[in-house]
Structure 1
């Protein structure tokens, strides 16, 4: 054994704190044969000074010193940042001293002696605490590398989401521009619906960018943002409606939130357009609640009502999107026939 605990090729430096010079010389000789370099300090103050200078791989601390005990010095060693491991040496058979030393931060303890067996035991204890310290150091370094890599990956992912949200926002702006230059009302409505769908997806990526979450989105915050955008873009003199969200703080996988956002966007947009007569104010409620492993989503209004068997209004694309999105969640969109107005219900697994 001839290399340091840091595997740099330098000798392993052991600090021995004891007021017995003769034992220190004996210790120096015997541990030197086993590949250690011993630094001796006759008191705690000298030992702490040597420790502060650095380069010490382990400490052997004697219990009985001239003006103090090792238990007086041990807490000051342990308080040092990145302090080396400490082996507490005591000549007493009183196990309470060893227990007190271990509680104060010592890594191991030995009963003092001068026989070859004692130095063999001490060398074995040193190798053990040095190996443990090396393992802890390497583990901390590995965890730091993992943390840095994770932070870098999250930063890149956030940047990707930021760019996607900006690109989708640009597409939405182009569609809005195209809509303003079109006189065909059917085409205008279709373009506006397309813009709503794009905004629903862009809103997800904006939230992924701002909250730095990976893989999940908090449903209540996302829907609050999405519904605010829909209400701002749809509300006018003909449709002075209000959207009310009641949702629990639930985290959901990103792909499911995107699907959910498209479904809610379609249902709320349809309610804005068809639920109430032009000029009549109305309320549209969106309710999200979790029951065990299932998420229950309700979009309802108190308007004119909706019969799924009636011929579709408009192009029918919205209904096809709703059915396809519900199917991707392994669910079906149901309508409550007893509700005054329209109540659409979607229940799907969050796992």
Structure 2
């Protein structure tokens, strides 16, 4: 049976001093005698200072553990330093052991005399020191001992609320830093996977011979590239869940130009409008809508021509986003099927995305093709008066 008590970060002398007070309080609560208490506190401080001095930062985890028929205070001191070369020689006092700093060998050897049990593990990933100090409390008094130790720690916290708040803020900052590192790693791996998918589609398209296959793979590549552009913008954004819409749409347009412009057809795609910050999920939808219509324009609007123009415009009006994709191509002739009613995969996808926002679609093919999407949008407002 074991009970965790507290974990302390050790990177300043003030942290070592706090460890001293807490260790004294716990050993007193466990009815250690004066000599045993001094011995335990001295060993803890020696191990903690070694971690601080030779690895910059260490951590001390204190807990209670049943050991035989006694309750013991257990300490695990860890760091992420370079490790200790020749540890066995150092602990045995041999000359072959080379400690990374003055006093380390003597201090580590002294831990064996100051504790009732000790174990030291060290490697390139860091060092872990385990120390055990037996108390006079019998193991059947474990629950009462744990309560007494917890109460002693609480009294120290209550006596110095500023120090406790500082410690809590530091723990919170570490958690946020760790989360950010994990998110960066997730984004990095996601980006690599998306790039791999895009490359596989591109290779398949280049190796395809049937025009229908090439067309399907080109469409799929354009859709994947829209998602890739959202991911890239999010990585550059200050917020992980929002991005600026206009630079993102400009990248989508540039990708379409790079994918579809050729020696026989040059189309200029311009992007303008309001630079609005939007949620990442909405950005993916806007990118797919824009990419789909740009692809359609390249395929159908400029048949028999060598050049053309496409406008992408995003504005915010009356709590809604208006996305317009307009070209100066052939438009719709009399008798042509209405594209918004098409059963193609692209238009089914468009209708699904617009419906998700309870939005509307307007198509005008009288002078080129102009498609306008109106999507209800609630911008986040910050109360600056607070």
TM-score with structure 1 length normalisation? Answer: 0.58
Partner deviation per Cα, 1:302-349 (whole Å, 9 max, x = no partner): 111147960669982211111112112221322135x52111111112
Cα distance between partner residues in 2 of 1:215 and 1:334: 29
Cα distance between partner residues in 1 of 2:251 and 2:359: 25
> Is 1:264 matched with 2:310?
no
Cα distance between partner residues in 2 of 1:161 and 1:9: 41
1:175–1:195: 8 Å Cα contact kept in structure 2? yes
Residue 136 to residue 223, structure 1, CA distance change in 2 (3 Å): farther
Match of 2:202 among 176, 179, 203: 176
Give the SS at the match of 2:205.
helix
Give the SS at the match of 2:362.
strand
Match of 1:346 among 365, 373, 377: 373
Residue 335 to residue 147, structure 1, CA distance change in 2 (3 Å): farther
Residue 212 to residue 274, structure 1, CA distance change in 2 (3 Å): same
1:164–1:202: 8 Å Cα contact kept in structure 2? no
> Is 1:138 matched with 2:164?
yes
Cα distance between partner residues in 2 of 1:311 and 1:350: 27
- Alignment-derived partner of residue 235 in structure 1: 261
Match of 1:336 among 364, 367, 370: 364
| CA RMSD across the alignment | 3.1
1:237–1:279: 8 Å Cα contact kept in structure 2? no
Question: Between Structure 1 and Structure 2, which shows a larger proportion of strand residues?
Answer: 2
> Is 1:318 matched with 2:375?
no
- Alignment-derived partner of residue 300 in structure 1: 326
> Is 1:275 matched with 2:301?
yes
> Is 1:291 matched with 2:283?
no
- Alignment-derived partner of residue 218 in structure 1: 244
Cα distance between partner residues in 1 of 2:359 and 2:289: 12
Cα distance between partner residues in 2 of 1:309 and 1:148: 62
Cα distance between partner residues in 1 of 2:359 and 2:168: 44
Cα distance between partner residues in 2 of 1:156 and 1:6: 30
1:335–1:345: 8 Å Cα contact kept in structure 2? yes
- Alignment-derived partner of residue 200 in structure 1: 226
Shift of 1:159: 2.2
1:267–1:299: 8 Å Cα contact kept in structure 2? yes
Shift of 1:165: 2.1
- Alignment-derived partner of residue 128 in structure 2: none
The number of residue pairs the alignment matches comes to 228
- Alignment-derived partner of residue 68 in structure 2: none
> Is 1:166 matched with 2:192?
yes
Unaligned ranges ≥5, structure 1: 11-130
Cα distance between partner residues in 2 of 1:138 and 1:278: 75
Cα distance between partner residues in 1 of 2:178 and 2:304: 52
Cα distance between partner residues in 2 of 1:316 and 1:210: 35
1:161–1:206: 8 Å Cα contact kept in structure 2? no
Cα distance between partner residues in 2 of 1:330 and 1:216: 21
Cα distance between partner residues in 1 of 2:339 and 2:175: 52
Cα distance between partner residues in 2 of 1:136 and 1:348: 50
Residue 262 to residue 145, structure 1, CA distance change in 2 (3 Å): same
Give the SS at the match of 2:278.
strand
Larger CA deviation: 184-193 vs 174-183: 174-183
Residue 224 to residue 146, structure 1, CA distance change in 2 (3 Å): farther
Shift of 1:280: 2.7
- Alignment-derived partner of residue 117 in structure 2: none
Cα distance between partner residues in 1 of 2:160 and 2:327: 66
